[in-house]
Structure 1
């Protein structure tokens, strides 16, 4: 849009002669002349320049009138916005404009200085908010990071991020660890480290060294052993029977599918009916840890579970819930009930390990197991790039895995015996 067209749009009732007079018009910026300036339509802005102070002007829009300075410095046209008309008078604005022009001629980047001044007061909460706005993160990650800061760093959120010291980090990490939350202590400090590095980049590396370095330099990080628990094969019949006796059919079928597919709990909980094809006997886990959809075939036993779920369908989710997510969230009550009956303690993720450990090597090979579990193949694993698994080939493997697990769960007996 040309300047003439823009002004015609802004002032539909002004003649072309008047528009030519308005374009680039220089006026003596006084209270009287500013009050008489026409107001443009919504979305349009018009600049007027002062006759006495070169580069000093006022920008008029439908809802504001703000003074500015416009100068070419080192070949670059630079606009510095001053305070709005009404907050300062034209006379005060002219004084501020002369100061700004003097700085610009001295090579000072006023806009960059303003940005740095804004960053100086950046709090931890500000940095976290900016981190979320800039990074491409999964909603679950955003929720987890927010929870960590809210639960363990709530009293730091409104402190300047530059004021967080090594001593503060070391003490807080130790306090959280002493509450039997060693993994949480590590996680919150790793998150703080990432947010601090991000804020330091915004500050052009002017923040103090990352205070979380103290934990590495002193060896304070907690050593967390990876959980390796599974349900022992000899206890699978007890657990299997207890699962089948659960009164809640949604959670009963949910736990059974976790055991017989090795899926992660959230992957299965977020499964929608639109991702289930009963005719083709396949289902697709869309919400996965690595972000890659996982298409899995159904064994006969798994197909029967989905059929039962379909007959009891309540909403768009295979495992419906009553909260705002509309899908199943918490099954701890039922897991605890199974433990009370069987004296076997386990978590939902233990079901994934139980699935993998019982079929690995005996029923499926390493590449097939990785495919079923949606594990990524390393970049250095050249062979994996040549191993292509069709759904029908995986169906045979899934059926063999199901049959093997059913044999263990029923001690060789048929399910209805």
Structure 2
């Protein structure tokens, strides 16, 4: 820190720093300082409140004259001497004016979310709290939140839990964002706390559905695919059938399979890759093709001679209506994720060891030791991938026999 008599031309001519910040204190006005960074220069006032040093920015030098900065500094220092913390006042003002919509925007822009994740957050909050988006957070009470929770619970317990978790994430981020200089929140605790304190939040239940009758499942897929052939996309039925088969034989997530491109398929090396930007955990995954999956890719290549995606010129759309037809033909509900779950169930029955299975499912490496054991060489998984596809064929043929 350098103390000197600040002058307008001196402030103007001081060079920007190459890195970090330089601080200068005015010898004429107590508490007035100048902060010089790599791109900007700004006046600030420094004082103490309750024995703690406080520094408040007054304005950039290109927007505030030195004379005005001296006046503002005297006022700010006097307020600090009187016990007023200007940074806390600013934090309270930010919290006072922040609406739920502001909190949602801040949370989604301040965190590195995938586009699909951000869209899910917005859709959930718009559906369940759309009428609160212009309401200031400080006016949202625990009882209001409890009433909204009970309303959503009547429609869907799992949806109520999702809504509360999403709401809480945005609230807590906003609470930290509006905290004072010491990191002390000025916004009250998230009102979802009342729901959890009363132990009303429904416990998450993991779905256990998986395919048990492959002959019936494939037959239902064929029925739905046949009905989809009249769709405006001439290959909709065949694509649906191959999409379902790819899911159960590869263990891919729906979005990973739907966005697979020809650049991701290596016919010579007999592998396919889920790129990092399209995987759930942000890690790339290269898996060997079983003979059945390799044949599936060849069918798709013959069908789609144009386009970057294995489904044509675009990723596979959401075949929701065709899925409904498949459910009707099967006579019981199932989801695309049931195919991925079935892949894991078959792997476990075939005694695929845990590090390999986790690698095949592309789950995050939370265990350091197991992370060392999970080789990224796709050839180490070729036998296991083939075993699972062969078991699917065996179970299908056994049902037919």
Q: TM-score, normalised by structure 1?
A: 0.72
Match of 1:192 in 2: 167
* 2:346 is aligned with 1:358: yes
Match of 1:254 in 2: 243
Shift of 1:211: 1.4
Q: Which runs of 5+ in 2 are unaligned?
A: 17-27, 34-41, 230-235
Q: Among residues 214, 217, 225, which one is paired with 1:236 in the alignment?
A: 217
Task: Give the distance between the partners of 2:281 and 2:172, measured in 1 at CA.
Answer: 24
Task: Give the distance between the partners of 2:315 and 2:374, measured in 1 at CA.
Answer: 35
Shift of 1:253: 1.8
Match of 2:373 in 1: 386
Compare the two structures and name the one with the higher helix fraction: 2
- CA deviations 1:136-174 (Å, max 9, x no partner) are 323222221111111101111111212221111111111
Q: Among residues 165, 170, 181, which one is paired with 2:141 in the alignment?
A: 165
3-state DSSP of counterpart to 1:227 = coil
Match of 2:329 in 1: 341
Q: Is the CA contact (8 Å cut-off) linking 2:272 and 2:289 kept in structure 1?
A: yes
Shift of 1:110: 3.3
3-state DSSP of counterpart to 1:339 = helix
* 2:261 is aligned with 1:272: yes
* 1:1-400 equivalences in 2 (<5 Å): 80-81=57-58, 98-100=74-76, 102-103=78-79, 109-111=85-87, 113-179=89-155, 181-202=156-177, 203=179, 204-233=184-213, 235-239=216-220, 241-242=222-223, 245=226, 247=229, 248=236, 249-286=238-275, 287-311=278-302, 312-320=304-312, 326-361=314-349, 363-367=350-354, 368-376=356-364, 379=367, 382=369, 385-386=372-373, 388=375, 390-400=377-387
Task: Give the distance between the partners of 1:103 and 1:224, measured in 2 at CA.
Answer: 51
RMSD: 4.3
3-state DSSP of counterpart to 1:283 = strand
Range moving further from structure 2, 207-216 or 383-392 = 383-392
- CA deviations 1:8-49 (Å, max 9, x no partner) are xxxxxxxxxxxxxxx96569xxxxxxxxxxx99xx9xxxxxx
Match of 2:396 in 1: 409
Q: Is the CA contact (8 Å cut-off) linking 2:56 and 2:86 kept in structure 1?
A: no
- CA deviations 1:52-93 (Å, max 9, x no partner) are 989999xxxxxxxxx97767889999674379999x999999
Change (3 A) 1:54 1:316: same
Tell me: higher relative CO, structure 1 or 2? Use CA pairs within 8 A at least 6 residues apart.
Answer: 2
Q: Is the CA contact (8 Å cut-off) linking 1:281 and 1:297 kept in structure 2?
A: yes
Q: Which runs of 5+ in 1 are unaligned?
A: 1-22, 28-38, 44-51, 58-66
Q: Is the CA contact (8 Å cut-off) linking 2:327 and 2:334 kept in structure 1?
A: yes
Change (3 A) 1:220 1:371: same
Q: Is the CA contact (8 Å cut-off) linking 1:260 and 1:302 kept in structure 2?
A: yes
Change (3 A) 1:82 1:265: closer
Shift of 1:256: 1.6
Q: Is the CA contact (8 Å cut-off) linking 1:71 and 1:78 kept in structure 2?
A: yes
Q: TM-score, normalised by structure 2?
A: 0.74
Task: Give the distance between the partners of 2:199 and 2:345, measured in 1 at CA.
Answer: 34
Change (3 A) 1:169 1:366: farther
Shift of 1:401: 1.4
Change (3 A) 1:206 1:390: same
- Bigger radius of gyration among the two: 1
